Amino acid sequence: ADQTLTNMNRALALNCDAPLDDKIGAESRNWRAGKPVRVIRSFKGRKISKYAPEEGNRYDGIYKVVKYWPEISSSHGFLVWRYLLRRDDVEPAPWTSEGIERSRRLCLRLQYPAGYPSEKEGKKTKGQSKKQGSEATKRPASDDECPGDSKVLKASDSTDAVEAFQLTPQQQRLIREDCQNQKLWDEVLASLVEGPNFLKKLEQSSMCVCCQELVYQPVTTECFHNVCKDCLQRSFKAQVFSCPACRHDLGQNYVMVLNETLQTLLDLFFPGYSKGR
């Protein structure tokens, strides 16, 4: 049957910075102004795209919808909706030398589900698994419209040496400037030797106690807790004038000052997380 511009098709079209048109589609004049789309590409798209991973699924990064249009499929003759997405991510794409180096530096590897044969065993037992039934979990299909950036992890291997996470000079300088969070940074920086686990530790330590998400537009209170400015404002509107983390009395006239240094650091460590917040 013919596709219609409804449900998921409509949702993706609404991300395009152009008036919705369910007849002929639309094209954005400023595609970067569209809403961000996080793309995951599957190995199943390898037959039609050289950018798809050879195995498994891969997070491709942030994209924007440039245009969408209806066309008759050459394979089955029904009307389908097509989309052109363009990458708009600050992180390098995985097929570039920068992307490969980033994956190596962060120790990013393919992660196999429980019960899935190892890489070598998988090649030997491929024929047997078809007859006997594989215990492996099937990989879900995903969109394969555009190229992207790999962020897949492999289960930790004690024989592999983990490379320490390297801070840029800019990050080091900003951390020194964020004096209000010195205790937080002392604790988090101790995990630099654990490679990518450093980012997990930082994310856990920078959660807003109110919304339970990575703090956005953080206000560092006088009791040294970080809370989203919007969350703290909602608390004050509800006549609650204490710190959401420790209940320290901030006072009704407390001035909420945005910690721009911390916000800049979080944007550097977690690019794109603030988009859509």
Tens-place pLDDT, residues 147-157: 434 334 444 44
pLDDT above 90 covers a percentage of the chain that reads: 57
Highest mean pLDDT (candidates 45-54, 142-151, 159-168, 242-251): 242-251
Instruction: Judge contact between 70 and 25, C-beta under 8 A.
Output: yes
* Residue finishing a domain among 59, 91, 106: 106
Can you give the CATH number for the domain in which 87 is found?
2.30.280.10
Structural domain ending residue among the three candidates 84, 106, 128: 106
Give a yes or no: residue 119 inside a domain: no
Output the CA angle 101-103-105, nearest 5 degrees: 65
Q: How far apart are CA 59 and CA 41, in angstroms?
A: 6
| Torsion over CA: 34, 40, 41, 44 (sign) | negative
Q: What is the pLDDT of residue 160?
A: 52
**Final residue before a domain boundary, out of 58, 76, 106:** 106
β-partners of residue 203 are none
pTM for this model (two decimals): 0.55
125: three-class secondary structure by DSSP? coil
Are residues 177 and 91 located together in one domain of the fold? no
Residue 165's pLDDT band (cuts 50, 70, 90): confident
User: Is residue 46 one of the residues assigned to a domain?
Assistant: yes
**Statement: residue 161 has pLDDT above 70:** no
Total count of domains within the chain:
2
Phi-psi region of 162 (alpha: psi -120 to 50; beta: other; left: phi over 0): beta
Domain identity same for 255 and 183: yes
User: Is 28 within a domain?
Assistant: yes
144 lies in some domain: no
Reported as a pLDDT band with limits 50, 70 and 90, residue 118 is: low
> CA-to-CA distance for 16 and 65, rounded, in angstroms?
5
Residue 123 within a domain: no
Please tell me the distance from the alpha carbon of residue 203 to that of residue 190, in angstroms, as a whole number.
14
Give the structural domain span for 230.
169-269
